[in-house]
Chains A and B, each alone.
Chain A
């Protein structure tokens, strides 16, 4: 197996935390610019989920049609956005691109933001991950999708990186 992001001791994780929840257009613009940078190994977007149907109450089962639940394009890859984006976590090969990321955020985000360094994506399997995926799971996918869901529904591999 190739050395993955999680195995590399030098890789760092940062979290971009905007002061407002951001629209799909802004997410698309921001991630497209970030994708052009060298050294970003994994990205994780998080926010409140947008249901397709009313989950409970008297109107349970009624279709919602939330305008924010839409498709966004990163280069040649199309991805269905199922959350309103509240924070973006990136795994970087090193700190060299931090300034460029800061500049891109300042250009793209219409509101203030914080960038902080820490450990936001898990690097080891939990017991339930192990039970679902077994000992041969790809370490690059740790923490990127829920063990109960299908990998295709939550993880997107950018086509630009297919050859690598």
Chain B
């Protein structure tokens, strides 16, 4: 029987959502066009070619190497794209994802990526077209609520603040806001104004956000209610402390 990765313990909705984010089996909720994505990322003009830092690998004549034969380069690496970044911020008030789970999602499901996990933001560096693929995946699926998550390249403050009256996470650069029931973005991720407004979709209701979140909270699903998670966290901590991750010593 083929082994199936289990990803994360636990029986609660939060544990189930964490498994979904890690495995990449998430529901697609909205559509964002390639041009819109390119505009809000702000790295190049939509419709233009990807700038490159080296010629395509096929033209370069790579040295003989068993690892290079074994590992197929990503599309971005094949074409010689620049390395570019996308950065997300997720509110602590039941945002669907968190920096850790965005990083798990990226590292498990995509290749050639360098995820950076911080307390309030998560950045991914990759070849430009590979990075766009990740950004599109995370923006279009249930990993992102346009009101509770934000695409923010710089000036990320807001993830730990209370939400605004309209249920949107605070953004001091006003990159995105609620207009007629949908979230509109009229600046790119670093705060430069863009020509047209990009529709990021409808925000999740409070109930839906509570259902789709990967955050344990006492006012939603408390961490201590998930006995299996607690048991495994205790086990990891105990074994790390007592045996320094050397199970052989324990036996």
Q: Which residues of A contact B (CB under 8 A)?
A: 18-23, 26, 48-51, 54-59, 62, 64-68, 84, 86, 110-111
Contact = CB atoms under 8 A, between A and B. Distances in A.
**A contact face: mostly helix, strand, loop, or mixed:** loop
B165 A54 contact: no
**B contact face: mostly helix, strand, loop, or mixed:** loop
B153 A58 contact: yes
B83 interface: no
B174 A26 contact: no
Contact of B172 (A20, A50, A86): A50
Interface residues of B, number: 22
Interface of B: 153-155, 157-158, 161-167, 170, 172-174, 177, 188, 190-193
Contact of B161 (A59, A66, A86): A86
Contacts of B163: 20-21
A26 B155 contact: no
Contact of B165 (A22, A49, A59, A67): A22
Contacts of B170: 21, 48, 84
Given A55-B155, A59-B154, A59-B191, A48 B165 contact: no
Nearest to B167: A20
A18 B163 CA distance: 10
Given A57-B190, A58-B192, 20 more contacts: A18-B162, A20-B162, A20-B163, A21-B164, A48-B157, A48-B172, A51-B172, A55-B155, A56-B155, A57-B155, A58-B190, A59-B190, A62-B191, A66-B172, A66-B173, A66-B174, A84-B164, A84-B170, A86-B161, A111-B165
